[in-house]
Amino acid sequence: MLANEVRPGPNRYITGDGVLSDLPEYLSEFQEVAVITGEQSFDVFSAYYPHSFDYPIYRYDGSSSYENAQALAEAIQQADAVVAIGGGKVADTAKITAQTLGAELIVIPTLVSNCAPFTPVIVAYYPDHTICKIDYAKKGAYMTIVDTRFLLATPVDYFIAGIADTLAKYYEMEAIVRNMAEDDKTALVRLGFQSALLIKNLLIADAIQAVKDLEVGQLTPAFARITDAIIALAGEVGGFAVEFGRTSGAHALHDGLSYLSETHTVLHGNKVAYCIWVQLAYTNDFDVIEELRPFYEALHLPMKLKDLHVTRLDRDYFASVLTYAVKEEETFILIDPAITPEKVYQAIEAVEAL
């Protein structure tokens, strides 16, 4: 995708208490509907959904890979709508499958953990769960349906990981924008950055309370605000600010960490939380790390490698991680064009020494 392409969110974004009850009406305009989901995702959906659901169901394999998406397309054969019911990997798998089939995509998130249901971004992995590449669907979803009451089924750890992943929007963009000439900050870049700042302020103000509300199963304005911030507002940062608002250091290092198998069971947002600190150390913003420490402590976010199940710190062990993080086609380079593996490793050492 071209770096200066503005790619906002879905054609229709539907959010609110109980909006899934209108799903039959939304699907009535389609002739052949196929559903892509996971085992747990569909169980949660079935327990909540108030109507019969008589559509063919296809299970993804958990990898979010081109291989699995292609296999699903071959199994479905023909559809004019693909409905993704699940988390981020289900959504990204369905984006590829829908595009392959020439079908419209409808996304029903079953948990609040990232902006995948909103954006055309595809985080693709190989079948062995190592990172493949960041790709972009040719068009966004036709519809994303965010039922805030249904999403009270979100596991608390996923919600917290989503908060961390969304927090990165501000810090990743700020590290880029601080070095941009004023004339390079287009109207759209400025809008994206103001959105990122709004998101950060919403999270700091509401996230801890929203977690408490989720823990007791109470739908509150705070929970609804954080839900829409994680899913929709986060997606609009990159949607408007183009390459300057999508990812930078934290996500590039996150992707590199996929080469350490012990991190595969750690939630995406939790890895990103640690990587925010490494990025802040890289840019010598240790004062910001200390400002964030109480927020991290309140949400029990990772602050050390051991929190990601990584027990080694020797340079050779991190070689593949560092090599990937500084690749020219990755996004850490947007912060520092002169980035090197050694500089990133020094930032990791600095965080481990805090």
pLDDT in tens, 74-121: 999 999 999 999 999 999 999 999 999 999 999 999 999 999 999 999
- List of residues 6+ apart from 150 with CB closer than 8 A: 20, 45, 48, 110
The tokens for 253 are 């290092």
Pick out the residues of the known binding site for NAD(+). Answer: 88-92, 110-113, 119, 125
188: exposed, middle or buried (Cβ count in 10 Å: 0-12, 13-18, 19+): middle
Per the annotation, binding residues for glycerol are: 165, 251, 268
Binding-site residue positions: 88-92, 110-113, 119, 125, 165, 251, 268
Q: For residue range 43-56, what is the model confidence (pLDDT) as tens digits? A: 999 999 999 999 99
For residue range 171-189, what is the model confidence (pLDDT) as tens digits?
A: 999 999 999 999 999 999 9
pLDDT band at 64 (very low <50, low <70, confident <90, very high): very high
- Segments making up each domain of the chain, as ranges: 12-152, 156-353
* CA–CA separation, 223 and 177 (whole Å): 30
Which pLDDT score, from 0 to 100, does residue 1 have?
47
Class of domain 156-353: mainly alpha
State residue 130's pLDDT score.
86
**When comparing pLDDT for 9 and 5, which is higher?**
9
Residues 92 and 116: beta-carbon distance below 8 Å: yes
pLDDT tier at 303 (50, 70, 90 boundaries)? very high
Fold of 12-152: Rossmann fold (3.40.50)
Q: Tell me what the mean pLDDT of segment 320-332 comes to.
A: 94
Please answer whether residues 242 and 5 qualify as being in contact, where contact means their C-beta atoms are separated by less than 8 angstroms.
yes
Average pLDDT, the chain: 95
